[in-house]
């Protein structure tokens, strides 16, 4: 029997590895990641499905899919040189990934295929903190979250649900953890950054609202309220919340076991268990 046994929501801020190295294991970010890592190690999944948003590194304006999946034995990253992150080789499961992608296409999601690729910090930073020995195979799913028009929240939730169902139809024993990664309100080098900085949190109230809805597993409200207009107000990378929404679809809406907000940065850390 195969099932989604847990879901994790995390940020992927590219300078967190450097910050954690500098500020030590007692710093808040180190503590939050350590808590999630302990849960992941207790749960011991056989595979991870990771929803994140490529920052125009794996894909670019010459070919920019709304959804894509990596189907490969392994991939590498980060390709965008975030400080203090080594180059990792990440194992994957092409048989399992092809099964998931086939189920998506059968369900009407035309998920693009990549078989040879590197990924940027958006995929590697979560793994750097949660599975640094890279011993668990990871299937990466790329969700367009930066370049409007973005896929709708409903579409991303349904994609996640399709992935959850596809996991359950895998013919064999497999315990799967899903991860959704990104910010709720954040603008990086865009017009909504804070004075004198490279980024900013333009809509902290929205980040707080997402935290509450995610913590309670309120999928309907999340889907209704995550509109293109709201995302534009929340910053140029706020569409990354779509990765969390897909993750919630994959495990099935339910309250989180816990959610640790980091509202000053417009994001959070959270864990769900059991489908």
> How many whole angstroms separate alpha carbon 163 and alpha carbon 165?
5
Instruction: For Cα atoms 239, 39, 127, give the angle at the middle one, nearest 5 degrees.
Output: 50
Cβ 235 to another protein shortest distance, Å = 10
Cβ 191 to another protein shortest distance, Å = 4
Cβ 188 to another protein shortest distance, Å = 6
> How many whole angstroms separate alpha carbon 179 and alpha carbon 181?
6
Residue number with CB closer to another protein (143 or 250): 143
Taking Cα atoms as reference points, which of 52, 4, 5, 10 lies closest to residue 259?
10
Residue number with CB closer to another protein (123 or 269): 123
Cβ 197 to another protein shortest distance, Å = 7
Q: Which residues contact another protein (rule: CB under 8 A)?
A: 55-57, 60-62, 80-81, 146-147, 188-193, 195-198, 202, 233, 236-237
Are the beta carbons of 52 and 78 closer than 8 angstroms?
no
Residue number with CB closer to another protein (210 or 237): 237
Residue number with CB closer to another protein (130 or 238): 238
Task: Using the CB atoms, write b or e for 23-43: b if 16+ within 10 Å.
Answer: eeeeeebbebbeebeebbeee
The alpha helices in 135-194, defined as continuous H runs, are: 153-168
CB atoms closer than 10 angstroms to residue 148: 11
Residue number with CB closer to another protein (53 or 92): 53
Cβ 189 to another protein shortest distance, Å = 3
Taking Cα atoms as reference points, which of 17, 228, 259 lies closest to residue 121?
17
Positive or negative, the Cα torsion across 264, 158, 253, 177? negative
Cβ 80 to another protein shortest distance, Å = 6
Residue number with CB closer to another protein (41 or 81): 81
Tokens of 26: 């007692």
Residue number with CB closer to another protein (232 or 263): 232
Parallel, antiparallel, or unpaired for β 174-181 and 2-10? parallel
Cβ 27 to another protein shortest distance, Å = 24
């Amino acid at each position: 029997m195969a099932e989604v046994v847990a879901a994790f929501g995390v940020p992927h801020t590219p300078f967190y590895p450097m910050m954690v190295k500098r500020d030590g294991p007692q710093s808040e970010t180190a503590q939050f990641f350590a808590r999630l890592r302990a849960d992941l190690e207790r749960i011991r999944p056989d595979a991870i499905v990771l929803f994140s948003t490529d920052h125009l590194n794996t894909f670019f304006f010459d070919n920019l899919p709304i959804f894509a999946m990596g189907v490969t034995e392994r991939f590498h990253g980060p390709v965008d040189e975030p400080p203090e992150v080594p180059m990792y080789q990440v194992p994957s499961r092409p048989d399992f990934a092809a099964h998931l992608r086939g189920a998506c296409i059968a369900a009407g999601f035309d998920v693009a295929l990549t078989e040879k690729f590197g990924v940027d910090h958006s995929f590697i930073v979560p793994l750097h903190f949660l599975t640094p020995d890279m011993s668990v195979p990871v299937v990466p799913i790329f969700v367009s979250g930066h370049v409007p028009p973005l896929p709708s929240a409903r579409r991303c939730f349904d994609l996640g649900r399709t992935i959850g169902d596809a996991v359950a139809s895998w013919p064999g024993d497999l315990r799967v953890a899903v991860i959704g990664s990104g910010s709720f309100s954040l603008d990086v080098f865009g017009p909504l950054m804070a004075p004198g900085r490279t980024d900013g949190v333009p809509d902290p109230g929205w980040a707080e609202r997402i935290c509450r809805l995610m913590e309670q597993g309120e999928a309907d409200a999340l889907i209704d309220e995550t509109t293109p207009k709201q995302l534009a107000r929340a910053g140029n990378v706020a569409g990354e919340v779509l990765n969390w929404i897909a993750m919630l679809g994959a495990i099935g809406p339910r309250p989180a076991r816990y959610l640790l907000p980091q509202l000053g940065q417009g994001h959070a850390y959270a864990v769900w268990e059991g489908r």
